[in-house]
């Protein structure tokens, strides 16, 4: 465990004006509070907060953050309280410790919906004071460095949580070194064999080709010396997980992987950066498409650097990053550079991002998300994103994630522009909306009045902002259509039992079903979340009970054993009155097929699974759904007449799905609850006679049944 004087000396190296008494008091208080507590390894528990403080001291952070690190577990795990910490160390430290405690209590590896809510809380905590997350990241880093002492199942849980949440968050904050170490430590737990394999390949490579890094570093220094540039050249092999990820993305083996070495050239001035770039490109051949200028177009977290990839010795590709000393400070510490000290004063780094502005830019696009899963998707998309820079026709720069499309570009400009998009031009050429935008391209969006977002755009869009806006617009568009459709379904369902779907009746149903109003009730009916039978039952429960003479579903089939139950095959949807045969399934009972079902051929060599069955005589209850494939004219009132015709035949519509929309015709699947084959014939005949119905056929999904057969 690091002694208090050693910790103070570490802080004093970058902040000679540090409050040594405050650090000693925090050290002593933390040690006292954790007295008698031990870690999984058997070490004193207080060794962990001290190690976290040392990690943050290496980032040259302020006294309040170092003190918070020493005390970050006291409120949660000891008799210390917010009040006692506030009294001894001030409200700023107490608020930071309390914030870290709340983050620690978030179960971030739970279900998706819960995880999304935790992300919301995490961003809220970050928005109050970003130092909370800096302490939490350092806490996670030390826990990952000492993870071997934990139980194997807990190691895997923590490693996955680190890989999914904390590593990308560190990267998003610009702390690339921490991201890489967290990923590698998690990779060591999640896939130790893969990591060991990559390490063995590295050792073999070094044995075969010698120390490539030293040789290339030496070559670069000579080239810079020739042009009179003073700069520091640092070379390194990429981390095992970074190599593994690239192998997976490109689906290639280690031997075919090229740029496994990276080099940083740190200069004194911005002009030197471009001079270095020229010298490097004169000496080595640049790899096309592998150049990024983050100096002229910085990342949102303040990151500035020039990236280029060149073919070095023996044709090996190497990545070169060129930046100034101040840019390097931000590249190493990211948003944390805002609190960095140098020579006893707060570091005035012109490239450090204001944390408040950064966190606002990160969270503003998520605020409108109502759906937890949508929010989580947006968070992950933005946290993992690598940026491309493109231009508006006026020359303004727009930053987008790699893989973004003109749809993302349009919504980045304005939601109104995105909603009205009908086409796009890239570098003056008309392109499809699914085109991937590349660095430096000029994008022009073509809009039209009356255009609305299409559902297919969700598959095209990449950014969380675009996806959120599209979903919101689709919900608003669909809601009006669903309410109208739901009203027709309600009318048909009520007329089926001789009643009228008045507003009062629908209000009663909404109240009984605990749904917020008639419009919401109708919208759910129109979107098939509620059936007409369920709404009718909420108002007239007695009218929806089976007739005493009806054959109930549990005794509808003759020939089953006493302990057997049946399901109807989805492929052929047999009805009472049709000839049937049963096929036995382990764990599923018996599945009924129509005798002419094409999927029965799959069981011809398994006669032991066939069961001779027949429907019970009598009137069955209307509990058997059948799908009808209906093509109708796109005229006013047609949908209402169809619902009326089905209702007049005493049938109930349970679902409606539009499968094709044309300007003059709609094609839809109508699921109808029927008693028997005779009622089906009556419904089809009535629909076929309607002048606005172009075609109506019984829909049988043979492919769906075949999938069940294979399973």
Which pLDDT value is given to residue 391? 83
pLDDT band for position 710 (cuts 50, 70, 90):
very low
Q: Are residues 186 and 324 part of one domain?
A: no
Q: Give the pLDDT band of residue 711 (cuts 50, 70, 90).
A: very low
**pLDDT greater than 60 at residue 471:** yes
Instruction: Quickly state the pLDDT bin for 266 (edges 50, 70, 90).
Output: very high
Residue 433, pLDDT above cutoff 70: yes
Phi/psi at 290 (5° precision): -120, 35
Q: Which residue, 342, 330, 348, is CA-closest to 15?
A: 342
Residue 643 has pLDDT above 60, yes or no: yes
Rounded mean pLDDT, 613-639: 83
Confidence class for position 331, pLDDT limits 50, 70, 90: confident
Number of structural domains in the chain = 3
Q: Is residue 412 part of a domain?
A: no
- Stated as kind and residue range, the H or E segment containing 670 is strand 665-674
Residues 330 and 214 placed together within one structural domain of the fold: yes
- Is residue 439 domain-resident? no
Beta partners for residue 688, in sequence order: none
Last residue of a domain, one of 160, 190, 220: 190
Based on the fold, state whether residues 144 and 213 are members of the same structural domain.
no
Identify whether residues 171 and 32 lie together within a single domain. Answer: yes
pLDDT at 440 over 80: no
Q: Return the half-sphere exposure (C-beta side, CA atoms, 13 A cut-off) of residue 372.
A: 11
**Domain CATH number, residue 581:** 3.30.70.260
| Ramachandran class of 471: left when φ > 0, alpha when ψ lies in -120 to 50, beta otherwise | alpha
The domain boundary, picked from 172, 190, 208, lies at 190
Least confident segment among 49-58, 135-144, 308-317, 437-446? 308-317
Computed on alpha carbons and rounded to an integer, the radius of gyration of the chain in Å comes to 33
Residues 123 and 266 in one domain: no
Instruction: Considering the candidates 9, 20, 43, 77, report the single residue annotated as catalytic.
Output: 77
Residues 87-134: pLDDT tens digits?
Answer: 888 888 888 888 787 776 655 554 444 445 555 556 665 556 778 888
Q: Which of 76, 478, 495, 629 is catalytic?
A: 76
User: Which ranges in 371-463 belong to alpha helices (H)?
Assistant: 372-384, 406-413, 415-419, 457-460
Unique residue bearing structure tokens 């095959």? 569
Say if residue 398 is exposed, middle or buried (CB neighbours under 10 Å; 0-12, 13-18, 19+).
middle
| Start-to-end Cα distance in the chain | 58
Per-residue confidence band for 377, with pLDDT thresholds at 50, 70 and 90: low
Q: What is the pLDDT of residue 384?
A: 45
- Backbone phi, then psi, for 666, in 5-degree steps? -115, 145
Q: What is the pTM of this model?
A: 0.51
Residue range of the domain that includes 98: 4-190
SS3 558: strand
Examine the pLDDT at 210 and tell me if it is beyond 50: yes
* Most confident of the ranges 271-280, 308-317, 640-649: 271-280
Tens of pLDDT along 578-600? 889 999 887 668 899 998 888 88
Whole-Å CA distances, 410 to 305, 423, 453, 474, 476 = 28, 10, 12, 17, 20
User: Is 474 contained in some domain?
Assistant: no
The verdict on 166 and 19 lying in the same domain is: yes
Share of the chain above pLDDT 70, in %: 81
Inter-CA distances, 583 with 451, 596, 612, 711, Å: 51, 14, 9, 14
Whether 692 is covered by a domain: the verdict is yes
Catalytic status, residue 77: yes
Q: Do 115 and 8 lie in a common domain?
A: yes
Q: Is the pLDDT at 684 greater than 70, yes or no?
A: yes
- CA-to-CA separations, 604 to 565, 579, 609, in angstroms, rounded: 23, 18, 10
CATH number of domain containing 261: 3.30.460.10
Nearest to residue 427, comparing CAs of 413, 444, 414?
Answer: 444
Per-residue model confidence (pLDDT) at position 554? 76
Same domain, 338 and 220: yes
Task: Name the token pair of 618.
Answer: 């009598």
- Would you say residue 366 lies in a domain? no
Least confident of 238-247, 260-269, 605-614: 238-247
In the numeric block, the tokens 């009294």 are attached to 87
Question: Of 190, 212, 243, which closes a domain?
Answer: 190
User: Domain with 84 in it: what CATH number?
Assistant: 1.10.3210.10
CA–centroid distance for 521 within its chain? 30
Q: What is the mean pLDDT of residues 517-532?
A: 81
Same domain, 213 and 184: no
Distance between CA atoms of residues 491 and 499, nearest Å: 9
Q: Is residue 543 part of a domain?
A: no
Residues 566 and 621 in one domain: yes
Whether residue 389 lies inside any domain: the answer is no
For residues 271 and 337, state if they share a domain. yes
Task: Say yes or no: 235 and 333 in one domain.
Answer: yes
pLDDT at 405: 92
pLDDT at position 342 is 54
* Region 631-653 average pLDDT: 82
Q: Which of 126, 15, 121, 101 is nearest to 66 (CA)?
A: 15
Look at residue 625 and tell me if it is in a domain: yes
Helix, strand, coil share (%) of the chain residues, nearest 5: 50, 20, 30
Rank 246-255, 451-460, 568-577 by mean pLDDT and report only the highest: 568-577
**Tens digits of residue pLDDT in 51-88:** 999 998 888 888 889 999 999 888 877 888 888 888 88
Supply the pLDDT for residue 406: 93
What are the start-end ranges of the E strands in 383-530? Answer: 387-391, 397-401, 421-426, 429-431, 443-447
The answer to whether residues 35 and 78 touch, using CB atoms and an 8 Å cutoff, is no
Residue 708's pLDDT is what?
45
- Mean pLDDT over the full length of the chain: 79
């Amino acid at each position: 465990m690091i002694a208090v004087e050693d910790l103070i000396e570490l802080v004093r190296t970058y902040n000679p004006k540090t409050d040594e008494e405050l650090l000693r008091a925090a050290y002593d208080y933390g040690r006292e509070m954790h007295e008698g507590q031990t870690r999984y390894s058997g070490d004193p528990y207080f060794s962990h907060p001290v190690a976290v403080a040392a990690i943050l001291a290496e980032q040259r952070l302020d006294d309040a953050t170092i003190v918070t690190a020493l005390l970050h577990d006291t409120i949660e795990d000891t008799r210390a309280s917010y009040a006692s910490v506030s009294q001894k160390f001030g409200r700023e430290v107490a608020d930071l410790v309390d914030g870290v405690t709340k983050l620690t209590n978030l179960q971030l590896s739970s279900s998706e919906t819960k995880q999304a809510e935790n992300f919301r809380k995490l961003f809220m905590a970050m928005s109050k004071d970003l130092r909370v997350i800096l302490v939490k990241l350092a806490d996670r880093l030390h826990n990952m460095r000492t993870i071997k002492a934990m139980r194997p199942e807990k190691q895997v849980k923590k490693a996955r949580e680190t890989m999914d949440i904390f590593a990308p968050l560190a990267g998003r904050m610009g702390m690339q070194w921490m991201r890489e170490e967290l990923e590698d430590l998690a990779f060591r737990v999640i896939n130790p064999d893969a990591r060991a394999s990559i390490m063995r390949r590295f050792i073999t490579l070094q044995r075969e080709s010698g120390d490539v890094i030293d040789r290339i570093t030496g070559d670069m220094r000579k080239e810079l010396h020739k042009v009179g540039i003073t700069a520091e050249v640092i070379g390194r092999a990429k981390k095992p997980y970074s190599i593994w990820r690239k192998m997976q993305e490109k689906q290639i083996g280690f031997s075919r992987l090229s740029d496994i070495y990276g080099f940083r050239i740190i200069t004194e001035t911005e002009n030197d950066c471009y001079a270095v770039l020229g010298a490097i490109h004169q000496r080595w051949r640049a790899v096309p498409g592998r150049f990024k200028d983050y100096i002229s177009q910085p990342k949102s977290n303040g990151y500035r650097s020039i990236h280029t990839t060149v073919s070095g010795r023996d044709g090996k590709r190497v990545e070169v990053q060129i930046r100034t000393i101040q840019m390097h400070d931000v590249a190493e510490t990211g948003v944390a550079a805002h609190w960095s000290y140098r020579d006893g004063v707060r570091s005035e780094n012109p490239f450090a991002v204001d944390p408040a502005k950064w966190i606002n830019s990160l969270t503003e696009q998520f605020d409108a998300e109502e759906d937890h899963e949508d929010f989580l998707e947006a968070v992950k998309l933005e946290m993992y994103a690598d940026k491309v820079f493109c231009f508006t026709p006026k020359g303004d720069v727009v930053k987008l994630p790699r893989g973004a499309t003109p749809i993302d570009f349009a919504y980045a400009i304005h939601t109104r522009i995105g909603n009205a998009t009908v086409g796009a031009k890239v570098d003056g050429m008309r392109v499809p909306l699914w085109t991937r935008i590349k660095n430096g391209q000029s994008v022009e969006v073509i809009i039209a009045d009356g255009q609305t977002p299409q559902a297919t755009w969700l598959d095209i869009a990449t950014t969380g902002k675009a996806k959120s806006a599209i979903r919101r617009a689709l919900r608003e568009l669909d809601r009006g259509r669903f309410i109208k459709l739901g009203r027709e379904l309600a009318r048909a369902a009520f007329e089926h039992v001789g009643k009228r779907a008045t507003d009062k009746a629908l209000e009663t149903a909404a109240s009984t079903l605990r749904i917020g109003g008639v419009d919401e009730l109708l919208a759910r009916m129109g979107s098939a979340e509620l059936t007409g039978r369920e709404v009718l039952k909420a108002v007239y429960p007695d009218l929806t009970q089976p007739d005493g003479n009806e054959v109930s579903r549990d005794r509808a089939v003759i020939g089953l054993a006493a302990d057997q139950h049946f399901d109807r095959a989805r492929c052929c949807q047999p009805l009472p009155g049709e000839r049937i045969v049963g096929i036995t399934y382990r764990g599923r009972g018996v599945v009924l097929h129509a005798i002419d079902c094409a999927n029965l051929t799959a069981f011809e060599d398994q006669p032991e699974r066939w069961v001779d069955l027949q429907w019970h005589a009598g009137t069955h209850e209307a509990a058997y759904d059948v799908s009808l494939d209906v093509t109708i004219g796109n005229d006013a009132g047609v949908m209402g007449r169809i619902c009326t015709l089905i209702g007049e035949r005493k049938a109930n519509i349970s679902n409606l799905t539009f499968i094709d929309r044309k300007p003059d015709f709609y094609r839809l699947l109508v699921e109808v609850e029927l008693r028997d084959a005779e009622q089906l014939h009556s419904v089809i005949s009535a629909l076929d006679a309607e002048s606005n119905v172009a075609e109506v056929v019984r829909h049988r999904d043979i492919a769906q049944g075949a999938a069940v057969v294979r399973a």
